[in-house]
Structure 1
């Protein structure tokens, strides 16, 4: 029996960031309503319900939140909401296993695959930015996590 937990999914979009670099988005299990999309919810798996970026990015037309809804066979429907308005379809995401398994170490100081390091604050999608208040909150936590992981 799986116990409910907060589910997370990291998504890298090759070429989707500024200057053609990668864009990174972090999703978590949340509600999908106008207010509940900003509140974490417990799920038993990544396919048990919607995942959203929860915290908004800022674009030319206001705040943007992204959403993934599970579909069969490791596919997700991708949508977005601007300024807490209704969700609009954007496309689909298909999760695939890597051709070669990433190098992971169980030791904190062990070798690690640099491609596994997601940088959602530093690498948002093109034409979007992390709000200043959110950058101030998240950046130190990510820096500490990377330092602790390397130690």
Structure 2
């Protein structure tokens, strides 16, 4: 039932992304301008009662990764916009390939974590994955909470859709790490999933159309 209901808004998102690609054919019709930075993720590890069956979340360790910061509509910086984080984690997919996690500015409450929130700067609001993933322990949402105005340090956290957030890592931007816009990287959270996570069918139908339209826009641009 949920999958069928999600088909309609999914088609709306696909149409919106497709129109954006026609009006502004670009590598990324949504989140068109961004900056790519190197980051280091220090993972604490989860206690046994908190573990999700997701190695990246559950296990302690240090990971070198990449983050692309962007604004969804590409509005002037003087105006609020929905900010986005595209996180690429090398070797974190089930087959050893790179995994992608995409987050956008939202609230952190039990309802507001599922609501997009425009913000004036990338460090002035929290980010969440918006839609829940399926994990071996059930539905889970991931978040990144900036600790400063530039979001040079962030806390990564996980929660059930209505549960409390549990911090599992610190993310730190490397000094002087800017490496361009990141336009050449095709972030895709549907194709490049973290080991242990998957999307519910309704969530896949909600998102896949917009990513299909974005892939089409890249082909038109190329």
Does residue 61 in structure 1 map to residue 137 in structure 2?
Answer: yes
Taking CA–CA contacts closer than 8 Å with sequence separation of 6 or more, which of the two structures ends up with the larger relative contact order?
2
- Structure 2, unpaired ranges of 5+: 1-76
Which residue, 20, 33, 39 being the options, matches 2:96?
20
The 5 A counterparts of 1:2-151 are 2-72=78-148, 74-96=152-174, 97=177, 101=180, 113=184, 116-151=185-220
Runs of 4+ in 1 over 3 A off after TM superposition: 100-104
Contact 1:31/1:37 (<8 A) preserved? yes
- Structure 1, unpaired ranges of 5+: 105-112
User: What is the aligned-residue RMSD (CA, Å)?
Assistant: 1.8
Q: Matched residues in 1 for 2:172 and 2:161: separation?
A: 27
Q: Matched residues in 2 for 1:52 and 1:144: separation?
A: 23
Shift of 1:35: 0.8
Q: Deviation per CA, 1:6-35: give whole Å up to 9, x if none.
A: 111101111111122111111101000011
Going from structure 1 to structure 2, the CA distance change for 1:37 and 1:149 (only over 3 Å counts) comes to: same
Higher fraction of helix:
2
Q: Matched residues in 1 for 2:103 and 2:202: separation?
A: 19
Contact 1:43/1:49 (<8 A) preserved? yes
Q: Matched residues in 2 for 1:128 and 1:14: separation?
A: 16
The count of aligned residue pairs is 140
Equivalent position SS for 1:69: strand
Shift of 1:89: 0.8
Contact 1:68/1:77 (<8 A) preserved? yes
